Amino acid sequence: MAALARARGFEVHGLSNEEMTDEFRLRAGRAGFQIRQADVEIDSFPWADDEFEVVICSELIEHMCRDPFHVLGEIFRVLKPGGALILTTPNLARVPLLWELLRGRSYMPPMDGPLDESFPLNPNYKHSREYTASEIEYLLCRQDHEPYRFVRERALHSDCWDPTFRDAARVLKHPIAGWNACLAWLVQFLFPGGRSCLMFRVR
């Protein structure tokens, strides 16, 4: 995403929790941007106040195990007045997850799978907490935990990870998988709140 934004002419800066390999740094440099390293849950971001017009926080907040308020406060600090934060995260109320729970099944990695997949040692590779739309709106716009408060511009339930109509149309070739996809597509079409991904744009 950063490389695409740079290719469109934007000045891009990145921040990563993890140590980056020389190869990764080289690839970022070739794409025209630099990635700095910091623990985003406890460190101050390595930029001045009011520095950016847009911050993208995509598929990150669900991996945080310490303090999402700190991260959002730092984003608020480095955004220019009127700047936009675009945040995406999985929807805890998505239909496939609710369907598994109603059937008495877990949506977590299977217990009989490889140990490192069921219990990842690196917390960055698993979701510490997923959120509903109202919880994300609270974190962004209604919290009284930290001295920041965003103003919501748009909140979308995206179907970017959901079965498409084309998937549902495979019912004739693969009856069980097809009907499951057809049902999921229909429910998510009728009830957008059950789609897979939350997308918020705030200022």
Rounded mean pLDDT of 178-183? Answer: 71
pLDDT > 90: what percent of the chain?
48
Rounded mean pLDDT of 53-64? Answer: 94
At residue 23, does pLDDT exceed 90?
no
Q: Which of the residue ranges 37-41, 97-101, 118-122, 159-163 would you say has the lowest mean pLDDT? A: 118-122
Nearest 10 degrees: CA dihedral of 152, 146, 35, 52? 50
Q: In what helix (H) or strand (E) does residue 69 lie, and over which residues does it extend?
A: helix 68-78
Whole-angstrom distance, CA of residue 65 vs CA of residue 176: 37
Could you count the other beta carbons within 10 Å of the beta carbon of residue 21? 9
Rounded mean pLDDT of 107-131? Answer: 78
Q: Are 59 and 67 in contact (CB under 8 A)?
A: no
Query: How does strand 197-202 pair with strand 79-90?
Result: antiparallel
The CA distances from residue 112 to 41, 66, 103, 120, in Å, are: 32, 29, 18, 14
Place of tokens 């598929």: 59
- Write the pLDDT tens digit of every residue in 64-118: 988 899 999 999 999 999 999 999 999 999 988 887 888 898 877 778 888 877 7
Residues sharing a CB contact under 8 Å with residue 155, sequence separation 6 or more, in sequence order: 133, 136, 137, 198, 199, 200, 201
Q: Are 152 and 200 in contact (CB under 8 A)?
A: yes
- The distance of Cα 77 from the centroid of its chain, to the nearest Å, equals 20
At residue 200, does pLDDT exceed 90?
yes
- In this structure, what token pair is assigned to residue 111? 């217990």
